[in-house]
Copies of this chain bind each other. A is one copy, B any other.
Amino acid sequence: MTNLLWPGDDRADNLMTDAALLEAMVAMEHAWLHAIVAAGIAPPEAACQLTGVLTAGDIAAVGSAAEHTGNPVVALISELGRRVPAVPAQWLHRGLTSQDTLDTALAITVRDVASRLRQQLAGHVSALTAVIAAHRSTAMTARTLTQHAVPTTFGVKAATWLHAVLDAADPLPALDLPAQIGGAAGTMAAAAELARLRGVPGDPATVATDLAAATADALGLAAAPPWHTNRAPITRAGDALVACTDAWGRIAADVLTLSRPEIGELSENPDSGRGGSSTMPHKHNPVLSVLIRRAAITAPPLAGTLHTAAALNNDERADGAWHAEWETLRVLARRTVIAGSHCTDLLAGLRIDVDRMRANLGTDTNAEQQAIADLVEAKPSAHYYGAAEPIIGAALKRAHSFTAGLQ
């Protein structure tokens, strides 16, 4: 995947692409079909390998037909049915509804996004830990409301970035969406009815519930009560994604300012070959930060859209609010992964100009410090970094504990 208008798109490679979603929808149908066979609802000859029956070549046809029913599942079932023997075809999707397949396919594909983000954030934590170790005492000026404030260290600034990254990692479990299986209207009626009519032992309601759990399990997802019109899992996933772009956007904002030539304290890797201009051979643009900031600007309204859709859910399947989620979530997820990858490169290649930091800090009297000294009629200390060490220490400790949790 490339996208002329979203440079870097290929960094999200096959995550949540149409191909990945097609595969996930088929995986969902496969898991369910085998679950109903295993439960004795469908006959043994209904068991059939669905994996690979549809391929990327089928996407256009399914995508085009999706419009007739408003979602791609009906067309997918119909295509699958045409390519498998009669008995499996007859039993395909029985007991499910389109939303089960689509929601669960989203869950499957978002899992890969979560996994990628986990790796990225772990890498950022590690990179920042190293930066802090190297620049724990690198003096620089702190800036507030754009103006010089008091001295700080680059270690403290990087500790702030580290907290931002760790804050982004906290809600990642929200990306582990459970399977969503409820049948036509969230009651599992068809599954239970089939269990009863086919004489499956046990309470049909329990059989139906167990089927959902077995399917989720086969797909490696958590089971949950139907959340067809309770979209908190989706909004939480969106919130978790935007938490990532918030954190990286915050870092990029600093890099963009501090790499201005008049400031010159930071710069993106000059050896990367990135950041050239179409007409100005001398330029070295902080292009990774620019692209991260782009993502950070566009992400919050996408996460907001998921909330709006959640709030407008109605009945037993929403009349548009559900449909508004899918592509919104995909776009948000892919852009987040892309921004994360950009941040990885940014941190790996970040140049820190200790001399410029020192020069910008200057030898100006620190008026706050002077005021304090005057107040207590004492001479200002040589050192005005306050609790920089314990602040850095707390950030590193949190990072250590995060990293230990990954093992």
Asked if B304 contacts A150 (CB within 8 A), the reply is no
Asked if B150 contacts A74 (CB within 8 A), the reply is no
Asked if B190 contacts A372 (CB within 8 A), the reply is yes
Complex copy number for this chain: 4
Asked if A253 contacts B314 (CB within 8 A), the reply is yes
Asked if B193 contacts A386 (CB within 8 A), the reply is yes
| Interface presence of A31 (CB below 8 A) | no
Query: What sequence of 0s and 1s flags, for each residue 50-68 of chain A, a beta carbon within 8 Å of any chain B beta carbon?
Result: 0000000001101110111
Known: A3-B63, A387-B187. A69 touches B287 (CB 8 A): yes
Q: Which B residue's beta carbon lies closest to that of A240?
A: B239
Contact of A196 among B144, B186, B190, B381 (CB under 8 A): B381
A369 vs chain B, min Cβ distance (A): 6
A306 vs chain B, min Cβ distance (A): 8
Known: A246-B235, A305-B300, A323-B291. A281 touches B187 (CB 8 A): no
Known: A160-B230, A196-B381, A230-B167. A10 touches B144 (CB 8 A): no
Chain B neighbourhood of A245, CB < 8 A: 311
| Interface presence of A143 (CB below 8 A) | yes
Bound-state Cα–Cα, A86 to B54, Å: 48
Known: A198-B376, A286-B145. A311 touches B276 (CB 8 A): no
Bound-state Cα–Cα, A375 to B191, Å: 13
Bound-state Cα–Cα, A246 to B146, Å: 20
Asked if A242 contacts B291 (CB within 8 A), the reply is no
Q: List 8 A-B contacts (CB under 8 A).
A: A93-B278, A150-B189, A184-B279, A184-B368, A225-B391, A252-B320, A294-B321, A299-B311
